C-alpha cells in the first residue's frame, strides 16, 4: 500500500515538473524569438512568452505546493521512526546494536539504565561509538563473546553481569543487498527465574520433610522458611502461608495427642470416669475426641460389671450365670465369663471328687477330661497323669508286699519306673531279697533242727537230763509263738494295720528280741510310710507345700529326699506355668493397649493426611493457575511477535517511501534548477525587451511596462527558486538522515523480531514446565490419598490385633487360675514381675483367704489393669 502511495506521489510530482519544463522551454523560445525576431513578430512572440511564462509560474506554484505535501509525508515518516524507537525503548530487557567493529549504534532505555547504574556510561548518546565490551560482562573480550559465538553459529550465550545471571541472543544485521551492517543483541535476565527455582527446591524439600514427619506421627516440624531476596520474596510469602497452615495442623494434632494421652493415663490408673472436653477441638478433631468419650462410656459399664464379677471369682463367692444383654465384643466377653464360670465349677467338682477318692485310698479314680477344653483339659489330664504315676507303682508295691506278708517271695517289682518310683521299686525288691534270705535261713534251720520238731515232740523224754527235747520243744514253742506273732504282724501289715505290734511275753532270750526287733522294724517302716501317706494326701488336697520333715537315715532318708524332691519339682513346674501365664496375660494386655494406641494414632494420622490433602489440592490449584497464566503469557508473546512482524513490514515500506522521496527531491532540485535558468533567461529577455521598447519610443511604452513586469516576475521567480532550492536541499538532507534512521530502525526491528521469537519460545517452555509441575502435584495428591487409605487399613488391623490380644490374655488368665488351685508355697504368692509400662500402677488390696476352702486365685494383677478394657 505504501509502495503504491510512493508511486502515486512520484507521478504527481513528475507530471507538473514535465509541464513546467515544457512551458519554460517554450517561454524561453518565444522570448528569444521576441528579442531576435523581426519587428512585426516581436509583439506576438512577447505575448506568447508572457502567456507561457504565466503558465510556468502557475505550474511552479502548484509543484511547490505538492512538494510541501511531500515534505509533510517525509516528516510523518520521520515521526514514525521516532515511534518505533519509542517501541524499542518500551522493551523491558536490554537491546543494543553495534556495527561491524562492535561499536554501539543504538542502545534502548533498558540497556541504558543498566549501563548508567553500573557507571559504564553517562547516557546512551555518549555510548554511541563506544565498543560494546564497555559493558564489562564476563564474556567480553574473550571467546565466549556473544558475537564471536554467533560467528561460530551459536545464537545464545549465557553470562553473569552486575551480579545477575543472563542470557544473550545475537543476530547479524544484513542490508538489502546481503551486506553485513552490524549485529544486534538482546539480553534476558534469568536471575529471578533461577533463584526462584532454587528457592522452591529448598522450600519444597523442607515441606516434604515436614510431611514425612507427619506421616510418621512426628510433630517436631521445622516451620522455618528460607530467607529471601527481592527476587524470591513472593515465593517466600507463599511458603510462609503453607507453613502457617502446617503450624495450625501441628497445634491441632498436639492438642489431640495431649488429650488422648490424658485419657490413656486415666485409663491406665483405672479412672474410667475421666473425660475430655471436646469443645476445645474443631472439625474432625472434635469428632475424634467425642468418639473417644463415647467409646469410654460404652466400655465403662461392661468393664465395671466384669471387674465385680472377677472380684467375686477371686473371693470364691457363688456366681450366678450372667444374663447377656450386650452385643458385639461385649457379648463375647460376657459369654467368656460364663464359660469361665462353668469351667471353674466343673474343674472344682472334678477336683473334689479326686480329693475324696485320694482320701479313701482309691488311686484308680480319674477325672473326666471330656468335660473340659483347652487349658482346663490339659490341667485335668495332668492331674490324671499324676494320679496314674502314683497309683501304678504303689499298687504293685502293695501287691508284692501282700505276697511277702503271705510268705510268698517268688515275685518282685519287675516294671520299669523312673525317679522316686524307681527307688521305691528298688526298695521293695531289696526287702524281698531280705525275706528270701530269711526264708533260706529258716529252711536251713528247719533242715538242721526243726524238721523233726513234731517227731521230737511226740517222743517221750529219753532221760531226765534230756534237755534237747525240751529245748527243741521250747524252741518249737518259741518259734511257733514267734511265727504266730510274725503271722499276726504280717496279717496286720497286709491289712494296712501298721500300728499293731508283736507280743514278746513268754519268749525268752533272742526270741523275745526277735519280736522286739520285728516291732521296731514295723515301727521304722510305719513312720516314713505314714509321712509318705500324709504328704500324698496333702498333695491330693492341692497343697503341694507338704513335705517329710522328720529325720531318717539310710533308705528311709532316700525315700524322704525322693518325696520332697518330687514335691519341689511339682511346685517349680506349676510356679513356672503360673508365671508364664501371668507374663502371657501381661504381655497380651500390653499388646492390646499398644494396638489400641496404634489404632488411635493411625486414626489421627488419617485426619492429618486429610488436612494435608486439602493443602496439596490448594497448591495444585495454584500451580494450575500458574500454568494457565504462563499459557496466556505465551499467547501474548505470540501476539507481540505477530505485531512485530507487521511493524517490520511497515518499516520496509517506509524505507521504500523514503527512497522514493529522496528520488523525488532530486528531481525537484533539477526542476528548480531549470526554473532558475528560465528566470535568468527571462530576466535577460526582459532587459532586451526594455531596450527595444526604449528604442521604439512612444510606440514601445506598453511593451516596456510589460517587460518591466516580466522582469519583476522573473526576479521574484528567481528568488522563489533559490528559496525552494534551499528548502529542497534541506529536505533532501533530512530525508537522507531519516532514511538512514529508518534503515537502522528496520535492522533493530529485525533483531527485536528474533529476540521476541526467543522470548516466545522461553515462555512456551515455562508454560510446559508449569503444566508438568501441575501434573506432578496432582500425582502427589493422589499418592497422599493412597497413604490415607493405607493408614485407615492399619487402624482396622490394629483394632483386630487388640481384640485378639484380649482373647489371648483371657486364655492365659484362665490357665493361671487353674494352676492357682494348688498351694505352692511362698513363691506362688509372690506377684509376677510387671513390665515397665505398668510399674506405676497401684496394687489392689489383698483378698483374705478362707481356711475352709481351697484357694482359687483368678488374677493377681493390680486392679488398675482392668482400666484399659
Give DSSP secondary structure letters for 662-687: HHHHHHHHHHHHHHHHHHHHHHHHHH
CB burial class (10 A; 0-12, 13-18, 19+) of residue 601? middle
> What is the DSSP code (8-state) at residue 848?
P
* Alpha-helix residue ranges (DSSP H) falling in 820-840: 826-829
Residues 6+ away with beta carbon under 8 Å from 199:
226, 228, 232, 235, 236
Name residue, grid cell 528457592.
199
Fold of domain 91-189: Beta-Lactamase (3.30.450)
Between the CA of residue 169 and those of 94, 172, 653, 751, 758, what are the distances in Å?
Answer: 11, 11, 27, 9, 8
- Rounded distance between C-alpha atoms, residue 695 and residue 693, angstroms: 5
Q: 180 in helix, strand or coil?
A: strand
Cβ–Cβ under 8 Å, residues 264 and 599: no
Q: 107 in helix, strand or coil?
A: strand
Beta-bridge mates of residue 95: 186
Q: What is the pLDDT of residue 662?
A: 64
Cβ–Cβ under 8 Å, residues 538 and 546: yes
Cα 230 → chain centroid = 32
Beta-bridge mates of residue 157: 168
Residue 638, number of CB atoms within 10 A of its CB: 15
Cβ–Cβ under 8 Å, residues 188 and 167: yes
CA 696-700-704 angle, 5° bins: 120
Task: Report the chain's C-alpha Rg in angstroms.
Answer: 67
The full length of the chain comes to 869
Q: What is the pLDDT of residue 856?
A: 33
Cβ–Cβ under 8 Å, residues 101 and 177: no
- Rounded distance between C-alpha atoms, residue 146 and residue 154, angstroms: 8
3-state helix, strand, coil in the chain (%, to 5): 75, 5, 20
Between the CA of residue 794 and those of 66, 152, 210, what are the distances in Å?
Answer: 94, 64, 21
Cβ–Cβ under 8 Å, residues 166 and 159: yes
Helix (H) or strand (E) holding 390: helix 374-405
Between the CA of residue 795 and those of 329, 433, 816, what are the distances in Å?
Answer: 17, 75, 32
Cβ–Cβ under 8 Å, residues 73 and 661: yes
CA 773-775-780 angle, 5° bins: 95
Question: For the CA atoms of 785, 787, 793, 794, what is the dihedral angle to 10 degrees?
Answer: -150
- Rounded distance between C-alpha atoms, residue 628 and residue 633, angstroms: 9
- Rounded distance between C-alpha atoms, residue 121 and residue 127, angstroms: 6
Query: What CATH architecture is 2-89+587-815?
Result: Orthogonal Bundle (1.10)
Beta-bridge mates of residue 183: 98, 172
| Number of DSSP helices (H) and strands (E) in the chain, helices first | 17, 5
Beta-bridge mates of residue 172: 183
Cβ–Cβ under 8 Å, residues 87 and 746: no
- Rounded distance between C-alpha atoms, residue 673 and residue 733, angstroms: 18
CA 213-218-220 angle, 5° bins: 90
Which phi and psi (to 5°) does residue 189 adopt? -80, 110
Residue 540, number of CB atoms within 10 A of its CB: 21
Name residue, grid cell 484362665.
814
Cβ–Cβ under 8 Å, residues 857 and 817: yes
Which phi and psi (to 5°) does residue 321 adopt? -65, 135
Between the CA of residue 515 and those of 121, 477, 503, 518, 607, what are the distances in Å?
Answer: 146, 14, 7, 5, 95
Q: What is the pLDDT of residue 444?
A: 52
What would the grid cell of residue 293 be? 468419650
- Rounded distance between C-alpha atoms, residue 651 and residue 89, angstroms: 17
- Rounded distance between C-alpha atoms, residue 33 and residue 31, angstroms: 5
Mean pLDDT by 10 residues, the chain (869 residues): 53 66 69 69 68 72 70 59 75 88 89 86 89 88 88 88 86 86 88 82 85 82 85 85 83 81 78 75 77 73 73 72 71 75 73 74 71 74 74 79 81 81 81 64 53 59 63 63 74 78 73 76 78 81 82 83 83 78 73 72 72 73 72 70 68 66 64 65 68 67 64 68 68 69 68 71 72 74 73 72 73 72 57 37 36 39 38
Q: What is the pLDDT of residue 630?
A: 67
Cβ–Cβ under 8 Å, residues 393 and 416: no
Q: What is the pLDDT of residue 171?
A: 92
What would the grid cell of residue 28 be? 524561453
- Rounded distance between C-alpha atoms, residue 636 and residue 767, angstroms: 12
Q: pTM (2 decimals)?
A: 0.31
Cβ–Cβ under 8 Å, residues 311 and 859: no
- Rounded distance between C-alpha atoms, residue 2 and residue 650, angstroms: 8
Cβ–Cβ under 8 Å, residues 319 and 313: yes
Nearest to 114 by CA among 87, 134, 142: 134
Domain boundaries, the chain: 2-89+587-815, 91-189
Beta-bridge mates of residue 161: 164
Question: For the CA atoms of 289, 294, 296, 298, what is the dihedral angle to 10 degrees?
Answer: -160
Q: What is the pLDDT of residue 839?
A: 31
Terminal Cα-to-Cα distance of the chain (whole angstroms): 96
Sheet holding 104-107, edge to edge: 104-107, 95-98, 180-189, 164-174, 156-161
DSSP, residue by residue, 529-595: HHHHHHHHHHHHTTBTT----S---HHHHHHHHHHHHHHHHHHHHHHHHHHHHHHHHHHHHHHHHHH
Amino acid at each position: 500500500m505504501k509502495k503504491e502511495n510512493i508511486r502515486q506521489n512520484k507521478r504527481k510530482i513528475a507530471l507538473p515538473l514535465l509541464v513546467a519544463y515544457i512551458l519554460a522551454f517554450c517561454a524561453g523560445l518565444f522570448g528569444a524569438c521576441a528579442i531576435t525576431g523581426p519587428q512585426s513578430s516581436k509583439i506576438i512572440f512577447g505575448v506568447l512568452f508572457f502567456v507561457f511564462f504565466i503558465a510556468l509560474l502557475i505550474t511552479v506554484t502548484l509543484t511547490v505546493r505538492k512538494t510541501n505535501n511531500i515534505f509533510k509525508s517525509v516528516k510523518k515518516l520521520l515521526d514514525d521512526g521516532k515511534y518505533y524507537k519509542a517501541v524499542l525503548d518500551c522493551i523491558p530487557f536490554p537491546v543494543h546494536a553495534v556495527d561491524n567493529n562492535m561499536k554501539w549504534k543504538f542502545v534502548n532505555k533498558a540497556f541504558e539504565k543498566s549501563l548508567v547504574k553500573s557507571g559504564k556510561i553517562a547516557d546512551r548518546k555518549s555510548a554511541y561509538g563506544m565498543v560494546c565490551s564497555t559493558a564489562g560482562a564476563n564474556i567480553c573480550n574473550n571467546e565466549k563473546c556473544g558475537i564471536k559465538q554467533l560467528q561460530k553459529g551459536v545464537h545464545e550465550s549465557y553470562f553473569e553481569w552486575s551480579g545477575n545471571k543472563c542470557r544473550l541472543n545475537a543476530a547479524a544485521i544484513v542490508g538489502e543487498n546481503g551486506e553485513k551492517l552490524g549485529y544486534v543483541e538482546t539480553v534476558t535476565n534469568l536471575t529471578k527465574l533461577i533463584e526462584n527455582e532454587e528457592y522452591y527446591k529448598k522450600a519444597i524439600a523442607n515441606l516434604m520433610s515436614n510431611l514425612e514427619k507427619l506421616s510418621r506421627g512426628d510433630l517436631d516440624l521445622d516451620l522455618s522458611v528460607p530467607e529471601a531476596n527481592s527476587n524470591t520474596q513472593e515465593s517466600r510469602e507463599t511458603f510462609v502461608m503453607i507453613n502457617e497452615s502446617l503450624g495450625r495442623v501441628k497445634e491441632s494434632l498436639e492438642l489431640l495427642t495431649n488429650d488422648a494421652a490424658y485419657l490413656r493415663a486415666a485409663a491406665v490408673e483405672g479412672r474410667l470416669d475421666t473425660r475430655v472436653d471436646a469443645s476445645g477441638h474443631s472439625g474432625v478433631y472434635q469428632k475424634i475426641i467425642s468418639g473417644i468419650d463415647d467409646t469410654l462410656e460404652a466400655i465403662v459399664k461392661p468393664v465395671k460389671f466384669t471387674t465385680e464379677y472377677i472380684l467375686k471369682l477371686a473371693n470364691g463367692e457363688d456366681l450366678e450365670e450372667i444374663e447377656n444383654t450386650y452385643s458385639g465384643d461385649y457379648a463375647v466377653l460376657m459369654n467368656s465369663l460364663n464359660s469361665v464360670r462353668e469351667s471353674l465349677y466343673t474343674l472344682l467338682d472334678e477336683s473334689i471328687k479326686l480329693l475324696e477318692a485320694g482320701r479313701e485310698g482309691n488311686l484308680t479314680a480319674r477325672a473326666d477330661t471330656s468335660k473340659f477344653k483347652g487349658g482346663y483339659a490339659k490341667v485335668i489330664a495332668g492331674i490324671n497323669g499324676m494320679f496314674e504315676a502314683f497309683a501304678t507303682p504303689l499298687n504293685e508295691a502293695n501287691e508284692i508286699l501282700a505276697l511277702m506278708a503271705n510268705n510268698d517271695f517268688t515275685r518282685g517289682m519287675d516294671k520299669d519306673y523312673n525317679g522316686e518310683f524307681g527307688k521305691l521299686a528298688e526298695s521293695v525288691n531289696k526287702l524281698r531279697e531280705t525275706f528270701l534270705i530269711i526264708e533260706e535261713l529258716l529252711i536251713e534251720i528247719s533242715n538242721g533242727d526243726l524238721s523233726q520238731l513234731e517227731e521230737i515232740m511226740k517222743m517221750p523224754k529219753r532221760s531226765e537230763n534230756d534237755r534237747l527235747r525240751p529245748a527243741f520243744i521250747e524252741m518249737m514253742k518259741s518259734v511257733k509263738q514267734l511265727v504266730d506273732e510274725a503271722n499276726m504282724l504280717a496279717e496286720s501289715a497286709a491289712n494296712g494295720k501298721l500300728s499293731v505290734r508283736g507280743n514278746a511275753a513268754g519268749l525268752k532270750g533272742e526270741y523275745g528280741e526277735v519280736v522286739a526287733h520285728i516291732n521296731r522294724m514295723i515301727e521304722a517302716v510305719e513312720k516314713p510310710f505314714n509321712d509318705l501317706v500324709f504328704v500324698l494326701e496333702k498333695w491330693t488336697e492341692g497343697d503341694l507345700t507338704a513335705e517329710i520333715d522328720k529325720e531318717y537315715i539310710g533308705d528311709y532318708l532316700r525315700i524322704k529326699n525322693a518325696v520332697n524332691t518330687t514335691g519341689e519339682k511339682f511346685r517349680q513346674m506349676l510356679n513356672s506355668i503360673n508365671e508364664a501365664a501371668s507374663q502371657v496375660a501381661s504381655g497380651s494386655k500390653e499388646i492390646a493397649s499398644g494396638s489400641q494406641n496404634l489404632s488411635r494414632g493411625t486414626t489421627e494420622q488419617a485426619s492429618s493426611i486429610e488436612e494435608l490433602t486439602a493443602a496439596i489440592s490448594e497448591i495444585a490449584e495454584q500451580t494450575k493457575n500458574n500454568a494457565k497464566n504462563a499459557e496466556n503469557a505465551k499467547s501474548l508473546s505470540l501476539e507481540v511477535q505477530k505485531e512485530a512482524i507487521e511493524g517490520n513490514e511497515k518499516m520496509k515500506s517506509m524505507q521504500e517511501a523514503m527512497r522514493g522521496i529522496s528520488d523525488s527531491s532530486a528531481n525537484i532540485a533539477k526542476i528548480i534548477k531549470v526554473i532558475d535558468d528560465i528566470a535568468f533567461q527571462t530576466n535577460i529577455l526582459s532587459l532586451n525587451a526594455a531596450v527595444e521598447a526604449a528604442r521604439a519610443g512612444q510606440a514601445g511604452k506598453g511593451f516596456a511596462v510589460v517587460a518591466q513586469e516580466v522582469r519583476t516576475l522573473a526576479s521574484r521567480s528567481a528568488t522563489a527558486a533559490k528559496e525552494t532550492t534551499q528548502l529542497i536541499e534541506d529536505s533532501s538532507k533530512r530525508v537522507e538522515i531519516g532514511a538512514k534512521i529508518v534503515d537502522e530502525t528496520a535492522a533493530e526491528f529485525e533483531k527485536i523480531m528474533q529476540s521476541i521469537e526467543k522470548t516466545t519460545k522461553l515462555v512456551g517452555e515455562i508454560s510446559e514446565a508449569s503444566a508438568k509441575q501441575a501434573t506432578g502435584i496432582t500425582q502427589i495428591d493422589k499418592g497422599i490419598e493412597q497413604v490415607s487409605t493405607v493408614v485407615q487399613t492399619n487402624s482396622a488391623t490394629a483394632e483386630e490385633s487388640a481384640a485378639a490380644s484380649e482373647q489371648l490374655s483371657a486364655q492365659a488368665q484362665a490357665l493361671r487360675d487353674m494352676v492357682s488351685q494348688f498351694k505352692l508355697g511362698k513363691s506362688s504368692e509372690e506377684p509376677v514381675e510387671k513390665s515397665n509400662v505398668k510399674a506405676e500402677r497401684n496394687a489392689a488390696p489383698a483378698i483374705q483367704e478362707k481356711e475352709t476352702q481351697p484357694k482359687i486365685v483368678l488374677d493377681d494383677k493390680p486392679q488398675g489393669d482392668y482400666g484399659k478394657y
